């Protein structure tokens, strides 16, 4: 039996895959585990958000609910009263010419605003920044190599001004993709780090007053 909780539950399934549970369940950028050398996700979802069509982000078949809705595009869409906005960005610093385009997803769940950045590769345009400025939770790739380097990433975070930063897409034990660990990012940004484990339950009044890093583990 699933434990009852107040508000929203966020669970990390490794890499860029998060499960956001509320009245509906949202899963971001699912992977199949074995292709990356890490544990596969074990999640059901009503909505699956795909930031781009690379194998470590697009394995919607790994999510076990058969009637799930998959979104993988720019624009505004709704599902059972939940609003989502897909925002166009680049996967690289060359306008997408090297690695293609990337979609960031902004949403509000139980009064908490969240942006999942996918594999963002350069600072977004001003109009995109304005749509996520002051967001509560910003999920960002911090492993570099295929995404923004640490210096540009810190500038991006300072420009957006989130209350909570959730690192993702970084090197962990067993991962077969050659990206960096989370350590360089944490050292560069100089913020307090809260270890939250595999999942966290929260409501609006439980968000930190000062900008904080939530570091998930698995």
Element (H, E) at 181: none
Cα–Cα distance between 158 and 152 in angstroms, integer? Answer: 10
pLDDT tens-digit readout, 110-166: 999 999 999 999 999 999 999 999 999 999 999 988 899 999 999 999 999 999 999
Give percent above pLDDT 90 in the chain. 74
Please state which architecture CATH assigns to domain 8-216.
Answer: 4-Layer Sandwich (3.60)
- As a whole number, the mean pLDDT across the chain is 91
Q: What is the CA radius of gyration of the chain?
A: 16
State the pLDDT confidence band at 54, using cuts at 50, 70 and 90: confident
Helices (H), the chain: 126-132, 150-160, 183-189
Residue 203 confidence (pLDDT) above 70:
yes
Strand 18-21 to 8-12 pairing: antiparallel
Residue 3 confidence (pLDDT) above 60:
no
pLDDT for residue 99: 72
Cα–Cα distance between 24 and 22 in angstroms, integer? Answer: 5
pLDDT for residue 1: 35
Average pLDDT over residues 97-102: 76
Nearest of 125, 162, 172, 112 to residue 140 by alpha carbon: 162
Q: What's the full length of the chain, in residues?
A: 218
pLDDT for residue 2: 41
Cα–Cα distance between 163 and 153 in angstroms, integer? Answer: 16
The pTM of the full predicted model, rounded to 2 decimals, is 0.93
Cα–Cα distance between 157 and 177 in angstroms, integer? Answer: 24
Residue 56 confidence (pLDDT) above 90:
no
pLDDT tens-digit readout, 12-46: 999 999 999 999 999 999 999 999 989 999 998 99
């Amino acid at each position: 039996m699933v434990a009852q909780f107040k508000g929203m539950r966020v669970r990390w399934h490794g890499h860029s895959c998060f499960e956001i549970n509320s009245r509906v369940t949202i899963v971001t950028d699912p992977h199949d585990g074995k292709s990356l050398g890490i544990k596969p996700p074990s999640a059901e979802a009503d909505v699956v958000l795909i930031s781009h069509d690379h194998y470590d982000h697009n394995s919607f078949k790994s999510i076990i609910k058969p009637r799930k809705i998959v979104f993988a595009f720019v624009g505004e869409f709704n599902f059972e009263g939940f609003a989502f906005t897909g925002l166009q960005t680049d996967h690289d610093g060359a306008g997408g010419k090297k690695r293609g385009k990337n979609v960031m997803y902004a949403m509000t769940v139980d009064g908490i605003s969240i942006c999942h950045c996918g594999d963002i590769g350069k600072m977004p345009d001003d109009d995109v920044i304005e749509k996520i400025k002051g967001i509560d939770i910003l999920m960002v790739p911090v492993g570099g190599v295929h995404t923004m380097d640490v210096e540009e990433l810190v500038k991006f975070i300072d420009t957006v001004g989130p209350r909570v930063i959730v690192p993702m897409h970084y090197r962990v034990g067993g991962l077969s993709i050659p990206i960096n660990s989370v350590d360089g990012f944490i050292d560069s940004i100089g913020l307090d780090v809260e270890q939250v484990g595999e999942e966290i339950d929260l409501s609006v009044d439980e968000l930190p007053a000062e900008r904080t890093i939530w570091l998930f583990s698995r």
